[in-house]
Amino acid sequence: MKPLARLRTWLDGLVDRGLAVAGAVLFSQAPEFFQQYLQRLGGHLDEARRTLAQFEHTAGEAGLTLDKFINQTATNYDAAVARLAQVMTDAVERVQHLNAAFTALRDASAWTRPFTFLRHLDAGIARATWTDYRPAVPTTAEGLMYAVVGMLVFLAVYHLVFRRLIRPRPVAPSITQ
């Protein structure tokens, strides 16, 4: 084997192994990100429930259900007080939205979690999670599964796309007269 061919084979093996490791490490972080996102989502849900409980308590002190309290507040002659009805309605909707997202993500299987995450994504919470994200070494079956998938994806892209792009093309013999 020629030295240049041997070097190419060695470099190809090095790139192949490096991409396998990179894919495994990168994809294995998905379960950790989902876990940190879920914790942050749960915190938002707890705070939204706390706010809603304050509105429910105030309604109860007035002898009203929350719905009646919202309706009564919405029809108040004072515009500032009437706007409070929308704040309470938004609080109810926020709790429902966060609870649905939290429950869906918590109960999703390892295979469906990425799709569930995207379906219920709260961009603000995801950005904040990413800002404070800390990588971790996954020690769960889910982390291993994502690592293997990442390895296969990176290797497939390398072998099926990039190697074909960088493979030297045979030189056609020239026709001389």
Q: What is the DSSP string of the chain?
A: --HHHHHHHHHHHHHHHHHHHHHHHHHHHHHHHHHHHHHHHHHHHHHHHHHHHHHHHHHHHTT--HHHHHHHHHT-SSHHHHHHHHHHHHHHHHHHHHHHHHHHHHH--TTTHHHHHHHT--HHHHHHHHHH-------SHHHHHHHHHHHHHHHHHIIIIIHHHHSPPPPPPPP--
Query: Is residue 174 situated within a structural domain?
Result: no
pLDDT the model gives residue 169: 60
Q: How many domains does the chain have?
A: 1
The answer to whether residue 176 sits within a structural domain is no
In a domain, residue 50? The reply is: yes
Question: Is 2 inside a domain boundary?
Answer: no
pLDDT: is 155 or 83 the higher one?
83
Confidence of residue 13 (pLDDT cuts 50, 70, 90): confident
pLDDT tens figures, 131-155: 999 888 878 888 888 888 888 888 8
Domain limits for position 120: 13-163
User: Binning pLDDT at 50, 70 and 90, where does residue 64 land?
Assistant: very high
59 within a domain of the structure (yes/no): yes
What percent of the chain stands above pLDDT 90?
A: 56
Tell whether 5 is covered by a domain.
no
* Lowest-pLDDT range of 37-46, 103-112, 116-125, 137-146: 137-146
Q: Is residue 108 part of a domain?
A: yes
**Better-predicted residue by pLDDT, 43 or 177:** 43
Q: What integer pLDDT is reported at residue 175 of this predicted model?
A: 66
The letter for the amino acid at 124 is: G
pLDDT at 157 over 90: no
Residue 48 lies in a domain: yes
Which of the four pLDDT bands, split at 50, 70 and 90, describes residue 172?
A: low
Mean pLDDT of 110-122: 95
